[in-house]
Amino acid sequence: MPGRAFLYVGDVFKPLQLSLDEFLEAWEGDKMALFELVRGEVERELGEVRGVRLLGAFLEPSSMTAVVEYLVELARGGEASVKLVHAEDPGRALMEYYRAEREGRLAR
């Protein structure tokens, strides 16, 4: 089960060319480095990003599932939630993320 990487924005999963190793290496190096890998994709979807803040992360090595949520401040005004997901089933991964959030198990 290798899974795939997705950008989840506006209730839509958009495939990314990002391996699990790249995903995890960026995350482990610097929590914002992962976002920087996909900044261009985010800006294509939402417009120029002025600021970024980590909201939470759910990592489940046994199923090779990872969800990292950022809050982006947009140059045109407003904010948007952006999630980076690596999973075989991204919808299920989001459900696991929300369960972990409710239970206070997200990394921050």
User: pLDDT-derived band of residue 43, with 50, 70 and 90 as boundaries?
Assistant: very high
Residues 50-100: tens digit of each pLDDT = 999 999 999 998 888 999 999 999 999 999 999 999 999 999 999 999 999
Question: CA angle, 41 as apex, 101 and 27 as ends, to 5°?
Answer: 45
Question: What does the domain layout of the chain look like in residue ranges?
Answer: 4-102
Q: Which two tokens stand for residue 12?
A: 């839509």
Taking the C-alpha atoms of residue 16 and residue 96, their distance in angstroms, rounded to an integer, is 20
Mean pLDDT of 6-29: 94
Does residue 35 have a pLDDT over 90? yes
Taking the C-alpha atoms of residue 102 and residue 60, their distance in angstroms, rounded to an integer, is 16
% of the chain at pLDDT higher than 90: 87
Q: How many CB atoms lie within 10 A of CB 21?
A: 8
Alpha-carbon torsion, ordered 23, 29, 32, 38, to 10 deg: -30
